[in-house]
């Protein structure tokens, strides 16, 4: 019998969840819910599914076995906890939540209820990162010395003005890091391992009426002893493909979007020839570099398939709640370091309390009234 899914939050990202589920065998999209019932009705009519007037109505429906949550980032906890208490499996769009306390509330609720929890990080399911991860696990880099992530994207002022939650600490949880770069932050820590110390700067340099950063630079030390850098922005016109680099005493490799761009090792393997050949022919599209809607849903589909498998086989999703929490903690440590002007050790003992940034840009600490909420 197909697993019945319900979508919570009917903004832009809900369409990607819908398309992903359509590609996953053994699933059926049953219905949707949004605090704005008109949004839910529109989405339901497009998808040919039910629209629920209340979250309680959705969670009481026996046809719903699992939910995917795409509400504003700082509003993930409430529906996730409610779904877990109702016995529904929970898939949450990144970030898992915007504070560690709220992340932990979701994790604890799902573990207590005995339901599966996953955080959507589709980049982990693409071939290039998996190939790089395998090479690292095989020790091909020798002593790993440096791991870097570069997310130099562009968002217009209209993007931030399009939803009242965008660019706020409470509901967006941050700016270029928490909303856009978090996918690549997750990849970096997945490849390089635990981060133990961070020193960072953030600022708002090109956008108005937002509380959060549109530029961030951080220096990292990993538990292995390796060092690293994260550069993230939504103020780099016209926007470039995200990039991850790993370097070591015996090799170096880099990924640009979904493609391997460099692959050089002191000790070659026969499989390297196929990788080098693929490097000549593949070319990633723009991803979300300048347009948040210009992404594919194939990564989401692979992650939904993994989630369904975990439910059916009583396994653990590849990116469960604990895995999803890691990138949030790194980003919060960056914010804490930038706020304090000091290096920050991980793990964090508490959530930083973030306030509106101050820079040379002219902006209001309180965002202007904007349109409807949409992920």
Q: pLDDT for 223-279, tens place per residue?
A: 999 999 999 999 999 999 999 999 999 999 999 999 999 999 999 999 999 999 988
Count of the separate structural domains present in the chain: 2
Ranges 26-30, 149-153, 260-264, 274-278: which has the least confidence: 274-278
For residues 247 and 338, membership in a common domain is answered with yes
Rounded CA-CA distance 150/230 in Å is 6
What's the whole-number mean pLDDT along residues 75-84? 98
CB-based burial label for 201 (10 Å; 0-12, 13-18, 19+):
middle
Q: Exposed/middle/buried for 76, CB within 10 Å: 0-12, 13-18, 19+?
A: buried
Length of the chain equals 375
- Measure the CA–CA gap between 129 and 187, rounded to whole angstroms: 8
User: Between residues 371 and 238, which one has the greater pLDDT?
Assistant: 238
Given pLDDT bands bounded at 50, 70 and 90, which one contains residue 365?
Answer: very low
Same domain, 274 and 338: yes
E strand or H helix that includes residue 100: helix 100-113
Q: What is the pTM of this model?
A: 0.93
Q: Domain range spanning residue 49?
A: 3-123+295-319
SS3 59: helix
Closest CA to 217 of 191, 193, 241, 198: 198
**CATH number where 69 lies:** 3.40.50.720
User: Which pLDDT score, from 0 to 100, does residue 6 have?
Assistant: 98
The pLDDT of residue 364 is 36
| Radius of gyration, alpha carbons of the chain | 20
The answer to whether residues 250 and 142 belong to one domain is: yes
Q: What is the CATH number of the domain that holds 131?
A: 3.30.360.10
d(CA 79, CA 152): 32
* In a shared domain, residues 34 and 142: no
110 contacts 316 by C-beta, under 8 angstroms: no
- Claim to verify: residue 205 and residue 150 sit in the same structural domain: yes
For residues 190 and 255, membership in a common domain is answered with yes
């Amino acid at each position: 019998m197909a697993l019945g899914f319900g979508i919570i939050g009917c903004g832009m990202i809900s369409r990607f969840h819908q398309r992903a589920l359509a590609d996953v065998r053994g699933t059926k999209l049953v219905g949707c819910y949004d605090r704005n019932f008109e949004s839910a009705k529109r989405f339901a009519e497009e998808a040919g599914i039910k629209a629920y007037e209340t979250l309680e109505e959705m969670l009481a429906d026996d046809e719903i076995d699992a939910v995917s949550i795409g509400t504003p980032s700082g509003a993930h906890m409430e529906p996730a906890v409610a779904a877990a208490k109702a016995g529904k499996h929970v898939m949450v769009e990144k970030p898992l939540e915007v504070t560690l306390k709220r992340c932990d509330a979701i994790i604890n609720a799902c573990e207590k209820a005995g339901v599966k929890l996953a955080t959507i990080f589709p980049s982990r399911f693409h071939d290039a990162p998996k190939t790089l991860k395998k090479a690292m696990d095989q020790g091909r880099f020798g002593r790993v010395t440096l791991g870097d992530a570069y997310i130099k994207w562009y968002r217009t002022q209209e993007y931030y003005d399009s939803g009242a939650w965008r660019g706020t600490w409470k509901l967006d949880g941050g700016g270029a890091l928490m909303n856009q770069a978090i996918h690549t932050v997750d990849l970096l820590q997945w490849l390089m391992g635990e981060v133990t110390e961070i020193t960072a700067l953030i600022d708002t340099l090109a956008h108005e009426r937002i509380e959060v950063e549109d530029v961030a630079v951080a220096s990292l030390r990993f538990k292995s002893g390796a060092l690293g850098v994260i550069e993230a922005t939504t103020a780099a016109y016209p926007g470039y493909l995200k990039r991850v680099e790993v370097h070591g005493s015996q090799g170096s490799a880099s990924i640009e979007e979904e493609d391997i761009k460099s692959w050089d090792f002191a000790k070659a393997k026969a499989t390297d020839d196929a990788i080098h050949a693929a490097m000549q022919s593949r070319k990633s599209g723009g991803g979300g570099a300048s347009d948040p809607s210009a992404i594919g849903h194939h990564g989401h589909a692979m992650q939904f398939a993994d989630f369904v498998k975990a439910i059916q086989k009583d396994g653990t999703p590849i990116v469960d709640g604990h895995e999803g929490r890691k990138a949030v903690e790194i980003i919060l440590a960056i914010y804490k370091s930038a706020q304090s002007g000091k290096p920050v050790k991980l793990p964090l003992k508490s959530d930083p309390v973030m306030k509106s940034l101050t820079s040379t840009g002219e902006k209001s600490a309180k965002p202007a009234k904007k349109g409807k909420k949409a992920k």
